[in-house]
Structure 1
Amino acid sequence: MTLKFVVMSDLHLMPQGELSMTLDTGARLEQAIDAVIERYGDADFCILAGDLADMGQPAAYEYLKTIIARMPIPVHITLGNHDRRPAFLDVFGADFADAETGKVDKVIDIKGYRIIMLDSSEPGRVDGVLEDDQIDWLHARLAEALDRPVIVVLHHNANALHIRSDDIRLLEPDAFIGALKTHPDIRQVIAGHVHITSTATWRGLPFTTLAGGHYSVSFVVDEPEAAIRRIDGPGQMAVVIGTPDRTTVLFDDFIDGNTSFGIIEGPRVHKTAAAA
């Protein structure tokens, strides 16, 4: 069995008809869903990994609920620093909060994998926070799944990226890393938040960020005070493929700004150099 799921992050929805940083984020999410309908209707589910609403407005969550109603696959949700948990729960339902942690944490067991979603948002803070009871919850959920690979999805990246946004990551990651290290097969830790694509190995664990659906940013490596540019593309989601022996993360730029100059159709035919 092959696991396939989509991760979207940083939607930054405003109430319908309003813009965020000059961008119509509702229209961008509609484009993302169009891409799922066209290319990933066979996926097992989609995760929305936080910063759902740009300012945490109830009307933005109502708008989100309306837009994702046409998603052809199940949708699972956690929160980011732009979200407001009480407003989200009022719109989507109190049962989205885990009974033990009170945050929007969740486990999905499917096709031989365990997917763990963590709510790293904390009121009044831009950086990420995992509270002690969440770390205890994570330890327990990992201990239950020692016989299968695990993928963790949360909003905030834990690893430093050597760029300006490093001061808003999960700034106290030791307990999180310690929990992850109790499991023998952490396949990926996937985050959004930083509005860029990255991959890393840190403390023996694999980390990934996706650019998400809002604006992207330029960066200068190891120059945290350097000015950055906000740019309107790409609009990006991640597509995760999981088999027993490997886990692959692909990045689909559903908004890319590129000019198409040809289409390759039909099966690829491999030829030897002599035959060619």
Structure 2
Amino acid sequence: MLKFIVLADIHIVPAGRLSNGLETTSRLNAAIDFVNETHADADFVVFAGDLADRGEPEAYARFEAAVERLTLPRYLTLGNHDHRPTFLQHFGADHASETGNVDHVIDIKGHRVIVLDSSDPAAGGSGLLERTQLDWLQARLDEAGDRPVIIVLHHNITRFHTQNDFIILRDCAEFAGIVASHPDIRQVISGHVHMTVAGTYKGVPFCTLAGCHYSIEPTLESRSGPLPAPVARREGPGELAVVLSDADATVVHMEKFLDRHVVMPQEHFVRA
């Protein structure tokens, strides 16, 4: 049985600052304590992007210091809040694949897990897999043969009919076409939207986890209208994904390491 953990939307800030009113390093520490105490039998942890809130060097240093307490191997990738050059300068160029992005292949227990860097900070929140990454992904899927494949990336791969649909993965149809070419795609797991959602897109099964930062009320556009109509954001729950997979099935449990649901003041979401 393959077992791994996905954490997303960490949003670490330099010491003395808050991210949207939240002390995110303490939330990361709570997640790490939960994993160490509850899931020490897992094979590894994937941190699926938005490691830093604004990509600052000090934030990556605080993130690194916190995850050193994790007792499991870990794989990192980036989201729209990250800054790839700063990340690679801090963690080392060996964290990038031949694509130049923070992509990984993990072959373990008869599975292939592919971790993709969908960061494109210049795009205002939406995600991007560059041409080299899509070609790389196709090659890694072809290599996998008939092994089950699980993909982890930061951005969600289809519209959810909510206010944040404008920040999904761009060229998602091409991505789905490549993924669907593999005979045993088990899941595409993302963070980014701060909501728990599951479904299929062009035959590809996906799910998203709410993550370590604030959670968004999944208010449909039919009720809320388009942006900038405010929707409720809550302090929690802090959520991680526990992935269990064998030859026959893949199951993703969304578990809470924090259990707060207080609605947060809207003024916490006005960027300077």
On whether the aligned pair clears a TM of 0.5, the verdict is yes
Q: Output the amino acid matched with 1:227.
A: P
Structure with larger Rg: 1
What's the CA shift for 1:37?
1.1
CA deviation vs aligned residue, 1:186-230 (integer Å, no higher than 9, x gap): 000000000000001121110100000000111321334242112
Name 2:21's counterpart in structure 1. 22
Task: Give the % identical residues.
Answer: 52
TM-score, normalised to structure 2's length? 0.92
* Residues 3 and 242, structure 2, Cα contact 8 Å, conserved in 1: yes
2-structure distance, mates of 1:157, 1:220: 17
* Residues 149 and 185, structure 1, Cα contact 8 Å, conserved in 2: yes
Instruction: Provide the secondary structure at the position in 2 that maps to 1:124.
Output: helix
Name 1:265's counterpart in structure 2. none
CA deviation vs aligned residue, 1:124-179 (integer Å, no higher than 9, x gap): 11101111111100000000002200000000001111111111001321221111
In structure 1, list runs of 5 or more residues that go unmatched: 259-276
Which structure: greater helix fraction? 2
* Residues 195 and 218, structure 2, Cα contact 8 Å, conserved in 1: no
* Residues 81 and 121, structure 2, Cα contact 8 Å, conserved in 1: no
How many corresponding residue pairs? 256
2-structure distance, mates of 1:123, 1:36: 29
* Residues 4 and 43, structure 2, Cα contact 8 Å, conserved in 1: yes
Q: Output the amino acid matched with 1:17.
A: G
1-structure distance, mates of 2:238, 2:189: 17
Q: Output the amino acid matched with 1:10.
A: D
Instruction: Provide the secondary structure at the position in 1 that maps to 2:221.
Output: coil
2-structure distance, mates of 1:65, 1:27: 13
Query: Aligned match of 1:247 in 247, 250, 259?
Result: 250
User: 1:107 aligned to 2:105?
Assistant: yes
Name 1:88's counterpart in structure 2. 87
2-structure distance, mates of 1:233, 1:182: 37
2-structure distance, mates of 1:17, 1:235: 21
What's the CA shift for 1:17?
3.0
Deviates more, 1:217-226 or 1:80-89: 217-226
CA deviation vs aligned residue, 1:105-127 (integer Å, no higher than 9, x gap): 11000001100011001131110
| CA RMSD, 1 decimal | 1.1
Instruction: Provide the secondary structure at the position in 2 that maps to 1:228.
Output: coil
Name 1:123's counterpart in structure 2. 121
TM-score, normalised to structure 1's length? 0.91
Q: Output the amino acid matched with 1:177.
A: A
